[in-house]
């Protein structure tokens, strides 16, 4: 049985922008540092990933906080 995880996207370092995705079936891949991801119909570059284990409520879930910056397109 899959364990599941939380993915929390933070845009441009603003804690108020946190957007949480609950992935109970482990269907969504965790992006790697430097990857370009599409979220909110825009392209973002992964700057940092922090991992923590959330223990409440049981069972515990890993949480991945993914820090993103907007990809600027060349002129």
What are the DSSP E strand ranges found in 1-75?
5-11, 19-23, 36-39, 42-54, 61-70
pLDDT for the residue 63: 92
pLDDT for the residue 60: 78
Cα separation values, 72 from 40, 42, 53, Å: 15, 10, 33
For the chain, 75 residues long, give each residue's pLDDT as a single digit of tens: 457 899 999 999 999 999 999 998 889 999 999 999 998 889 999 999 999 887 666 667 899 999 999 997 665
pLDDT for the residue 46: 98
Q: For the whole model, what pTM was predicted?
A: 0.83
Place of tokens 């269907």: 27
CA distance linking residue 18 with residue 15, whole number of Å: 6
Write down the domain spans for the chain.
5-70
pLDDT for the residue 23: 92
């Amino acid at each position: 049985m899959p364990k599941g995880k939380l993915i929390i996207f933070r845009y441009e370092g603003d804690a108020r922008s946190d957007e949480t995705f609950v992935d109970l079936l482990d269907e969504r891949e965790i992006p790697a540092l430097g990857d370009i991801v599409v979220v909110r119909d825009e392209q973002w570059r992964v700057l940092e990933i922090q991992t923590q284990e959330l223990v409440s409520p049981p069972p515990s879930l890993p949480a991945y906080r993914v820090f993103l910056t907007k990809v600027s397109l060349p002129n």
